[in-house]
Amino acid sequence: MELKIREFGKLTSFRVSDRKLVFMSLLSSELQPGTRRVRGREKRNITLNTKLTRTEYAEVERHCESLGLDFGEWLRGLVLRDVRNDTGHLALMGEVTSLRLLLINTLEPLLRGDKMTAEQFKEMLRYVKANKRKAAEDALANYTERITEQL
């Protein structure tokens, strides 16, 4: 029996005798020599994967369809945003948290019947501006902790 081995990118073919040609994937996360560029970018040849239940996959599939994205595109974007520490969520959460701080800290005294002067309101705005980032970070950390516990 003769065994000939040829490599085609990530596939390796093994010829067993003259009749049978078997292809097998190389299970490696290392870049192969001679990587080439595809449409002006580095070729994507590393695979990440996970396992989902059928129900979880159906949820993800519906979400991707609603965004008009393929599953792989959506997952790649999600992973890279998380790895690159996209601050968009923190900025948005900061604004939402500042509104919450402002409402809680101004409505409570007003509901008790107290009056608020213009100077007190300006002081409240300074307080909110100074504390919104910390409050947003705490809220996001709390949210992430709850999500992790559910998994």
What's the pTM?
0.42
Give how far the C-alpha of residue 136 lies from the chain's centroid of Cα atoms, to the nearest Å. 18
Query: What's the half-sphere exposure (Cβ side, CA atoms, 13 Å) at 10?
Result: 13
The tens digit of pLDDT for each residue in 14-24 reads: 444 455 444 44
Q: pLDDT tens for residues 33-63?
A: 555 566 777 888 888 888 889 999 999 999 9
